[in-house]
Amino acid sequence: MVTSINDTRKKRGRGRPRVDATQLAVRVPPELLAKLDAWISHQEEAISRPEALRRLAVLALDHDQLK
């Protein structure tokens, strides 16, 4: 008996684990992206653009609450 092609495929792993967060897609104009990259370059540790946006959002929202 011939084995079906479907039976010979490798099984995939479980994939990325679920996180308790909402995905947010944002388009960023080149000028703002350049400013974001400049801000990232001044940080003590290397961080990704998404992490930089999270940190800046926290800073802005915390600052806004102080008013």
Is 67 among the domain residues?
A: yes
Is 40 among the domain residues?
A: yes
**Per the structure, how many domains does the chain have?**
1
State the pTM of this model: 0.68
pLDDT for position 7: 62
Q: For residues 43 and 38, what is the distance between their CA atoms, to the nearest angstrom?
A: 9
Structure tokens that stand for 43 in this block: 């940080």
Is 16 among the domain residues?
A: no
pLDDT for position 38: 98
pLDDT for position 33: 98
CA-wise closest residue to 25 among 62, 53, 59, 60: 53
Q: Which residue has the tokens 């909402």?
A: 22
Tens digits of residue pLDDT in 1-34: 666 666 666 777 887 777 888 989 999 999 999 9
By residue range, what is the domain housing residue 49?
Answer: 27-67
Structure tokens that stand for 25 in this block: 């897609």
